[in-house]
């Protein structure tokens, strides 16, 4: 009986989704979706074990915005749909250097997951594996070096990668915080080695 009710509720939600604004569907047409991980999970209930599927999705516009979401349902397509909707709601914007790489190196940590990301010169490509690669490609990074030095759990790796991306800041943001001009910040970044040598 419970199963029939849950299916009926799902159909009602599907009808409500079909009534959505078509303009919103067109706006989301340029968003790239990637399935990172899907697994079957079980919940022990009074009548035995109830199986369902959990999905981890990454979405992004490959222009500096990316998000991730987790969804769980009795069927795989519904779990993917839930994860995709959550990912679109939690998208973040990451400043990119020359629209191809990160502005600076960064570290991220979530639980036992630890990742490192480094900016790279043109032609390097995306040197990263597993969930990290999915996040960086969906973000739109073309040249980057990433490495996971902690847990290989995809959920922790994705969250750690997002923590590293959230710490990224552009020269414009740094200049605004310090009350300086963007040219001064970029000049110091370019001449950082010589400035450090003069200071010593």
pLDDT digits (tens, 9 = 90+) for 136-194: 889 888 888 988 888 888 999 999 999 998 888 776 776 777 777 766 666 655 544 43
Report the pLDDT value the prediction gives residue 159, as an integer from 0 to 100.
92
pLDDT at 61 over 60: yes
- pLDDT classification of 124: cutoffs 50, 70, 90: confident
Q: What is the reported pTM?
A: 0.71
φ and ψ of 176, to 5 deg: -65, -40
Q: What is the pLDDT of residue 104?
A: 83
Instruction: Give bridge partners of residue 39 from the DSSP assignment.
Output: 54
128 class by beta-carbon count within 10 Å (0-12 exposed, 13-18 middle, 19+ buried): buried
* Beta bridge pairs of residue 44: 49
Dihedral-angle region of residue 88 (phi above 0 means left; psi in -120 to 50 means alpha; beta otherwise): alpha
The CA–CA distances, whole Å, from 27 to 21, 77, 107, 129 equal 10, 22, 33, 30
- Structure confidence at residue 84 as a pLDDT band (50, 70, 90): very high
Radius of gyration of the chain measured on its C-alpha atoms:
21
Helix (H, G, I), strand (E, B) or coil at 61: coil
Which residues are paired to 162 by β-bridges?
none
Whole-number pLDDT of residue 78: 93
């Amino acid at each position: 009986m419970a199963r029939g009710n849950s299916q009926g509720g799902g159909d009602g939600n599907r009808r409500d989704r079909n009534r959505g604004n078509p303009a919103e569907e067109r706006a989301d047409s340029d968003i790239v979706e990637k399935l990172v991980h899907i697994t079957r999970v079980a919940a022990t209930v009074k009548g035995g074990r109830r199986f369902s599927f959990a999905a981890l999705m990454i979405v992004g516009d490959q222009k500096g915005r990316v998000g991730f979401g987790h969804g769980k349902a009795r069927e795989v397509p519904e779990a993917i749909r839930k994860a995709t909707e959550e990912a679109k709601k939690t998208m973040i914007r990451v400043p990119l250097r020359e629209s191809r790489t990160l502005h600076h190196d960064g570290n991220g940590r979530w639980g036992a997951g630890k990742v490192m990301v480094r900016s790279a010169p043109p032609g390097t490509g995306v040197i990263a594996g597993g969930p990290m690669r999915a996040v960086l490609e969906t973000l739109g990074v073309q040249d980057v070096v990433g490495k996971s030095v902690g847990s290989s759990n995809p959920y922790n790796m994705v969250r750690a990668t997002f923590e590293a991306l959230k710490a990224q800041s552009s020269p414009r943001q740094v200049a605004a915080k310090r009350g300086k001009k963007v040219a001064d910040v970029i000049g110091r970044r370019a001449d950082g080695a010589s400035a450090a040598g003069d200071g010593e």
